[in-house]
Structure 1
C-alpha cells in the first residue's frame, strides 16, 4: 500500500474502487461471450477507469506512518484563508476569505450569499466523511459559460510563514490539509445513515478495514497484471540443445532464477572467436583419421622450413643487407677506377690502348694461367729472357725482345700494384656476395600456393601475411642481385617480420599433430568429445543469452507480483484491525460520544456503540436497542439527525491526535433554539483548543456563538458575506449587519461613524444634522441592547425561547445607574425622533454627541463594576447567615 496521497483521498478512492470493482466483476462475467479483441478492449477500458493502466509509471512506494493518519509527528498548521478563487459557482472572481489564525472565525451570510461555494472548495481539499465523487464535485457558474478552469489558493501557515496551496477540482489532496476536518450537511448525513442501521466509526479506526477493500481491489489488479506480464512467457524462453547432457551450460540454464545476475549470465554464456576456433579444431581432430596425422606431419615440416627461410630472408634481405650490397658494389667500382687511373699513368705510351681494362686483365690472367700450367711449369710468370737463356712470349709464341721483355716487366709490376690488388679483392667480394644470395626453395616451390591455402584454413591473416612476405622476398632478392650487378637502386616495400608468427603456427601445428596422434587413444578421445560437447552447448547458450535474461526478468517480475500479492493479503489486516479495535476502542470513545450526545440532549434516543466487524469492514453501529427497518434519517427528526451527526463529528475530532483546524457549515440547521445555544457553547469551547471556522446564515445563532465565545474569553473574528445580481461571495467592508453586533461592537461602530462628523459640522450643517440624527438612532438601539445584554445578562434574548434563569444572580440595578440609563435613553430618543420645525430642540454639537457616547460607555462599565461588587459581596452575606 502506498501513501502517495493524503489518507482521506485514499479512503475516498478505495470506496469508489469498491463500487467500480462490483461493476467490473459484472462486466467480466459477460466477457466469455466476447471475442479476444473485445475482451482485450474491455480489459483496457477497466484499467483506464480504475486509473491503473500498465503504461503509467507507478508512484514511489512510501510506507504508511503515523502522521498519515493525522497524528504522530506532523507539523501543525494554521488555516489562514482562501484566495484567488476563479470560476467556482457564482463566487466573485478572485474572491477571498481570511480566517482568524487562532480561536474562532464566524462567517455570516444570508442564503445565496456564497458560503457554500467556499465550503465546497474546503471539503474537497481537506478531510471530510464525504467519499462520493459526485457529491464532492465543484461546479462552475451554471448560469455562465462554464468554460473557464476552476482554481483557488488555500493559505496555510506551518510555522514558516504563509504558504499558498494551489487547488483545482479533483487534484491530489495536499497532506497538510489532511489535518483540517470539515462538517457540512452532506457529511452530516454520513454520520447518521449507514445502511439499515445507525452507524458510527471513528475515522482512524475505519482505515484498516477500508484498507482491506483496497487490498482486495489491488489483488484483482495484480493478478490480472501478472497474467499479462508473466503468464506462460517463461516457457517461451526454453533453449533447445543438440542433446540432453550434463554440460556446464545446460546446468546453468536449468539453474537460472530471479537472483541470477547479468554478470553470471554473461560469464556462463561467454563464447568468443577463440572458442569457436577451438570447437572447429576439436571437431576436426575427432573426425580425422591416421592419414590426417601424416598430412599434419608434412605440413609441420613445411612450416618449420618456411620459418627458417623467413628468418633468413628477414636477415639477408633486410634494408641493411640491401644497403650493404649497394655499398659492396660501390667499393669494387671505386677501387677499379682508382687502379685504372694508376695504369693510365704507366701505359700511356704503349702501342695499344686499353691496358688495365677488364678485358686486358682477363687476357693477362689467362696468359698467366697458361704460362704456369703448360708453357713454363714451375716458373713464375712472366718468364723473361736472362743472360743464359731466351724466353718466348706466351701470347705470340715468339722470342721476347728487350722491348717486349721490358713491357712484360711493366705489366707484371702493375698487376702486383696495391690498387689493382684492392680492386681485385673488392670485385671478388661482389662475386662472392652474388653467390651467397639465399635460395628460397619452399617460398619458390610449386606447391607454395597449395600450402598457403592450408595455412589460410587455420589463420587467414597469417596466410595473407605470408603471401605478401613471399612477394616482398622475391622483389628484394632481385633488388639485391641488381645492386650487386651495379644497377641503379629501386625503392622496395618493407619486408616486415613474419618469422615469429610462422614459428607460433609451427608450435600450434605441432600441438595439433600431437592431438591427432592422441586422438587415437580411447581416453584422450573421450576428453576431446567432452570438450566438444561443452563448447557446443556454450555456443548455443551464447546465442540464446537474451532468453536467459528475459527468463530471469520474468522470474523477478513473478516474484515481485508474488510478494505484492502476499502484501495485499487481507487475513493479517483483518486480524490486526480487530486487535486494534479491541485494544483502543476503550471507554474513552464511548464516554466521549455519550458526553457529546448529552451536551446536545439526545441521550433519550437510547443510542449506544456496538462494534461490528467483517473481512473488509469494521463499523461501530449506533445501536438504538431496537430493530430498525428504515434508514435512520426516516426515523429521527431532522434536528435529532443534525445533533447526532455533530456528536459524531466532535467525537471524531476530539479523539484525533493533534489540534488541526475544523470547519463547520450551518451546524444548527433544523435545531431548536435551545440546542442551537448548546451547539454554540460547544463550538466556543472547542475554539479554545483549536482553530474553528463557522459558516452560518442564522443571525440568532451568530449572536449565540459570539456570546458563547465572549464567555470563553475569545474575541471571534466575524465576516459578513452578501451577493447581488453580479456575483456572490462579496465581503461587506462595514462588517456584520447592525443587528448582529453586541454592545461593545455597536459602540465601536458608532465611534467610527462619528469620526468625520466634526469636519462635516464645519462644512455643511444640514448634512451634519442628517447624519447625527442617524447616529442618535444607533445610540438608542445600543441602549436597548444594553438592557438585554448588560443589565439582564442575556437572561432573556429576543428571538430565543430560552430563559437563562441561572444568570439572575448577576442582575443588579442600582438607582443611580437606572437614572443615568433613563436620561441617556431619553436623550437618544429625543435626538433620533422627528422634532418640530420650530427648532425647539437644538441639534447637538459634535462635542455634545461625543460626551453622550462617553456617558454610555461609562454606564456599561459601571454596570459591570456593580455586578462584580455584588458578586463579591454575596459569599460574605452567606457567611453571615
Structure 2
C-alpha cells in the first residue's frame, strides 16, 4: 500500500474544512496498513466519536469483538501482472511482467536487468513498511531527458476478470492493492532498525490505539474550530422578516432546531404558483375601490355572454353543423334536378324551351299572383274558358284558345306535382337555415380587443384562445353561407371553442366580484389583510429555504462539536485495547515470530518480540535484550539481520487476515547458502497458501527455489529479465536461462526446438546439420544435469556448498541404466562435437533425434522406478525425503 503521512501529521491539515476529515482518515488508514473492513470500521468509529452528521451513513458505534481482529473480510485479489510502464528508471517503454495467478512466480535477472524498477513501482502502490517519501520516490531515467510522465498499469483480478489499476507517483493508494505485501532491502532495514528497534504493527488490534490518536487530535481541532465553523455563520443564516408579526412562517422560522427535518422545512416553506396568484389577487382586492367592483360586474357580464356565444358556436358552427349545411344545399339541388328532369319529359313538345326552369317558375308564380290578386281575384289560378264564359291569358291578355287552355292545365298539373313541391321545400329549408345562423354580438363587438386585454391580465392562454376562436367563428360563418350557396367545401382547422375555460373564468370572476364587495366590509377586509400577511411571509420563507437548511445544519454541527468534546476521552479505549491485545494477539504474534526464527535457525539469538503499548500506539517490537544498545544492527550480522527481517515480515503476513499476494525482492542478500536453502523452503511453503512473486539475481537461489517448489508440488513460473545498452526490464521470450533449468524443463525446450527440424531437413540440409548439432549439445547438457539431479538426487549441487547427505539412500545405479546412460551420452557427444570433414559420421535424421530424446525421457523415468524399488528394499529405514 502506498505510504503516507503518519498520525502526527494530522495537525498539519487542520486549516481545511470537512474534506480534510475524509482525507485525514483515509491517509491514516493507508499509513497503517488496514484492510478494507478495518478502514470502514475505523472510519465509522471516528465519525461517531467526532459526532459528525452523515447523510449517507448514520454514525453508529460498535463495540469491539473478537471478529474485528481477524482483519475483516474483503474480496481476495490475484496480482496478474504489471504493464504499460512509462518513464520509470531505465525500463523499456511499455515494459510488462505477467505473474502466475497461483503459487509461485520467480523473476530472475542479473544486476541491472531492471528488477528493482518493477519492485519500486509495486512497493509504492502496495503495502510496505516504508513510510519515507524520499525512499519511496520513483525516478525517471536519470540519464535521459526525464520529461515524460511516470505511469504503469497494475493488473489484478478480484473474481470478475482482469482490471488495470493505473499507478502514478504520489497517487492515492487503491484499497485492493493493500492486500499485497512487499518486502525488499529498504523495508527489511525498517524491521531491524526502524527508530532503533524492530517494530511489528499489528493489524486489526491497532485500531483502538489509532482511535486514541485521532481522538486527541480531534479534541484540539474541535475546540479551535467550533467558534469559527459555527458561531459567525449562524447569524448569517437568519431569515429577516419586516415587519415582525405572528404569521405561521415567522413562527416556524423561530422554531427551527437541529432536529428539524428537511421534509418539515420543505412543507413550511412551500409556496406555489397558486399561492402567488392568490397573493396578487388579495393585494388587488385590498387596493381596489367601488369603481373596480363596477368594472368587475361589466366584465363578469361580458364573460357570461361569451360563454353563451361559445356554446352557440359549438353547436352551430361545428364540423357536423357545416357538414349538415352542405347536405341541406345538396338535397335542394338534387330535388330540383329531379323535378327538372321530370318536366323535361313532359314538355318536350312545347314551342318554347326552358319549361320548369327557375326563371320559368318565377314567371309562373308572378302570373299566379297577378291572377289571384287582380285579374281574377275570386277564382283559382289558372282561369280557363268554359261554355258559359271566356278567359284571357294573364300575360298576353288574349283570349285563351283550346291549345292554350290545355297547356295551362298541363303547367298547373306540373306545379302541383310532388317532385316540384319537394324541391321547393328543400330550397326553402336552405333559405331558413341561412336565416337561422347564430348572431355573435359580443364576438363582433367593437370592445372585443379591450375585453381580451382584461382577460389577458388574468389568463394569457385563454386570451389567446378567445382571439383564435373569434377568427375561427368568422371563417366558419363564411364557410357555412358558402356551403348553403353551393360553393365547394374548404379545409378548416380544428374547431375547439374554449367553452369550459370561459365558464371557469366566469366562476372565478364572480368570486372576485364577491371578494370586492366583501372588501368594503371592515371585518372582511381584516381577514383579507391577515391572509395577505401570511402569504407575504410564506413567500419570504420560500425564498430563504436554503438558509433554513444551512442554519439547521449549523445547529447540527454545533451540537456535534459539543457532543464530540465529551466523546474523545481516551482512557477507556486504552484500557480496553490493552485487554484485547493481551487476550487475542500477544501469544499468537510471539509464537509465530518464534516459529519463523526457528525456521531460519536464528532462535538462538537473544532477540525476543514483546508488546509495547501506550495511549496512542500498539506495537510489537524486537528487544535485543541487552543494556549496551538498543540498535539491533549493532549486534547482529548482515545475514542475521536479513533473516530476522524475513521472520518479522512472514509473521506479519501469517497473522494478516486473508491470503493476499506477497512480493519478495532479493530475500537471500547476505545469507549463506544453507540459510538460503531454508528461505527457499519457507517461500515455497508460503506459495502453497498464497500467490508469491520473488525477484532474484542469485542463480543458485533460483535453483534452490525451483527445487523447493518442486518438492512442495508446485510448478513455478519463471521469467528471465535482461538489459542492453538502450534499456532494461526486457523479458527474454525464450524464458529462463538454460543453466537455471532442471531436467524436465530442458527436455521441454528441446522438444519445442525439434518441432521445425523436419521441415528444415527437407529444405536445407546444411542449416539442418547446424541446428541439429546444437540440439545434441543441449541433449548432452541435459545428460550432465541428469547426473546431478536424477542419479545423485541433488546431493551435491554445483554452486552450492550444501551436501544433502540424507538423499544418499535414494542413489542407485543399476547396470542396465548405467549402460543406457553411457550410450545416450556417447551419442550426444558424437553428434555435438566437430566431426571429420570426410563425413564418416552421418547426420541423424529428425526422427532419429526424436528417438534419442525419447530414450533420455525413458531413462529418467526408469531411474525414478529404480529409486522407488531401492527405497522399498530398505524397510528398516525411517528417514523421509
Q: SS where residue 102 of structure 2 aligns?
A: coil
Compared CA separation, residues 241 and 624, structure 1 to 2 (3 A): same
1:12-42, CA deviations, whole angstroms, 9 ceiling, x for partnerless residues?
A: 4351x52474x789xxxxxxxxxxxxxxxx9
Structure 2 CA distance for partners of 1:168 and 1:763, relative to 1, 3 Å: same
Corresponding position of 1:329: none
Maintained 8 Å contact 2:10/2:24: no
Measured against aligned partners, the alpha-carbon deviations of 1:281-315 in whole angstroms (never above 9, x if no partner) come to xxxxxxxxxxxxxxxxxxxxxx9xxx99x99xx99
TM-superposed deviation, 1:836: 4.0
Aligned residues: 631
C-alpha contact (below 8 Å) 1:216/1:568 kept by paired residues: yes
- Listed as ranges, the matches of 1:405-444 within 5 Å are none
Structure 2 counterpart of 1:508, from 504, 518, 522:
522
Q: How does 1:204-223 map to 2 (within 5 A)?
A: 204-223=204-223
Q: Which residue in the other structure is 2:103 paired with? A: 103
Match of 1:859, SS state, is helix
8 A Cα contact 2:519 2:525, kept in partner: no
Greater Cα offset, 667-676 or 198-207: 198-207
2:180 is aligned to 180
2:8 to 18, 22, 37: 18
The residue aligned with 1:599 is 599
Q: How far off its partner does 1:548 sit?
A: 7.4
Superposition TM-score, scaled by structure 1 size: 0.61
- SS class of match (2:604): helix
Q: Work out the CA distance in 1 between the residues paired with 2:514 and 2:21.
A: 71
In the alignment, structure 1 residue 858 sits paired with structure 2 residue 858: yes
Q: How far apart are the structure 1 equivalents of 2:116 and 2:259? A: 58
- Alpha-carbon spacing, 1:856–1:232, altered in 2? closer, same or farther (3 Å): same
Q: CA deviation at 1:752?
A: 2.4
Shift, 1:112, TM fit: 1.4
CA RMSD in angstroms, aligned pairs only:
5.1
Matched, 1:778 2:775: no
**Offset of 1:556 from its aligned partner?**
2.1
Residues 439-474 of structure 1: per-residue CA shift (max 9 Å, x gap): xxxxxxxxxxxxxxxxxxxxxxxxxxxxxxxxxxxx
Equivalent position of 2:680 in the other structure: 680
Q: Which residue of 2 aligns with 1:120?
A: 120
On the 8 A contact 1:82/1:98 being kept in 2, the answer is yes
* 2:821 partner SS: helix
Equivalent residue number for residue 32 of structure 2 = none
1:196 corresponds in structure 2 to: 196
The 1:59/1:109 distance shift into structure 2, 3 A limit, reads farther
Alpha-carbon distance change, 754 to 233 in structure 1, aligned in 2, over 3 angstroms: closer
Q: Is 2:787 the partner of 1:787?
A: yes
Structure-2 separation of matches of 1:819 and 1:861? 15
State the Cα deviation string for residues 738-757 of structure 1 (Å, max 9, x = none): 11011111122222233333
Q: How much has 1:860 moved relative to structure 2?
A: 1.3
Q: Map of 1:388-537 to 2, 5 A cutoff?
A: 504=518, 507-508=521-522
Distance 1:509 1:760, change over 3 A: closer
Contact 2:590 2:610 in 1 (8 A): no
What SS is found at the alignment partner of 1:82? strand
Runs of at least 5 residues in structure 1 that lack an aligned partner in the other structure: 1-7, 26-41, 279-302, 320-495, 513-530
2:760 match: 760
The answer to whether structure 1 residue 694 and structure 2 residue 732 are counterparts is no
Give distance in 2, aligned partners of 1:128 and 1:180. Answer: 9
Shift of the 62–104 alpha-carbon distance from structure 1 to 2, 3 Å rule, reads: farther
Distance verdict in 2 for CA 1:49–1:206, change over 3 Å = closer
Note closer, same or farther for the CA distance 1:230–1:746 as it changes in structure 2 (3 Å cut): same
Whether the 8 Å CA contact 1:252–1:268 is kept in 2: the answer is no
Distance 1:618 1:818 in 2: 64
Q: Deviations over 1:691-736 (max 9, x none)?
A: 1111111110110000001111111111111111222111111111
Q: CA deviation at 1:782?
A: 1.5
Deviation at 1:609, TM superposition (A): 1.9
SS of aligned partner of 1:108: strand
Aligned-partner SS, 1:875 = coil
1:79–1:236 CA distance, 2 compared to 1 (3 A): closer
Q: Cα 1:176–1:63, aligned 2, differ >3 Å: closer, same or farther? A: farther
Q: Deviations over 1:289-342 (max 9, x none)?
A: xxxxxxxxxxxxxx9xxx99x99xx99xxx9xxxxxxxxxxxxxxxxxxxxxxx
| Counterpart contact for 2:611–2:618, Cα < 8 Å | yes
Match of 2:621 in 1: 621
Partner of 2:646: 646
Once the 2 structures are TM-superposed, how far is the Cα of residue 616 of structure 1 from its aligned partner? 1.3
Distance 1:139 1:63, change over 3 A: farther
2:161 corresponds in structure 1 to: 161
Please list the CA deviations of residues 168-196 of structure 1 after superposition, one character each: whole Å capped at 9, or x if unmatched. 33323332222222212222222222323
Corresponding residue SS for 2:609: strand
TM superposition shift of 1:802: 0.8
How far residue 265 of structure 1 moved from its aligned partner, in angstroms, is: 11
* TM-score normalised by structure 2 residue count: 0.61
Go from structure 1 to structure 2 and tell me whether the alpha carbon gap of 1:609 and 1:777 turns closer, same or farther (over 3 Å shift).
same
Question: What SS does the aligned partner of 1:102 have?
Answer: coil
The structure-2 alpha-carbon separation of the partners of 1:231 and 1:88, relative to structure 1 and needing over 3 Å to count, comes to same
Matches of 1:575 and 1:857, distance apart in 2: 67
How far apart, CA to CA, are the structure 1 residues paired with 2:845 and 2:79? 47
SS in 2 for 1:695: strand
Q: Residues 796-850 of structure 1: CA distance to partner in whole angstroms, max 9, x if unpaired?
A: 1111111111111111111222222223223333333334445454444434333
Distance 1:95 1:842 in 2: 46
Which structure has the larger Rg?
1
In the alignment, what sits opposite 2:848?
Answer: 848
Taking the aligned partners of 1:504 and 1:251, their CA distance within structure 2 comes to: 29
Distance across 1 between alignment mates of 2:759 and 2:724: 33
Structure 2 CA distance, aligned partners of 1:24 and 1:731? Answer: 44
Query: CA deviation digits over 1:750-809, x for unaligned, max 9?
Result: 222333334434444433333333222222221221111111111111111111111111
* Residue of structure 2 equivalent to 1:657: 657
> What are the equivalent positions in structure 2 for 1:820-839 lying under 5 Å apart?
820-839=820-839
Query: Do the aligned residues in 1 keep the contact of 2:624 with 2:630 (CA within 8 Å)?
Result: no
**1:872 paired residue number:** 872
Structure 1 contact 199–619 (Cα < 8 Å) conserved: yes
The aligned residue for residue 735 of structure 2 is 735
Quickly say closer, same or farther: Cα 1:722–1:578, change in 2 above 3 A.
same
| Deviation, structure 1 residue 94 | 1.8
Q: Contact 1:265/1:549 (CA < 8 Å) preserved in 2?
A: no
Q: Measure the CA separation in 2 of the matches of 1:267 and 1:781.
A: 91
Distance 2:166 2:567 in 1: 34
* C-alpha spacing 1:204/1:111, structure 2 compared with 1 (3 Å): farther
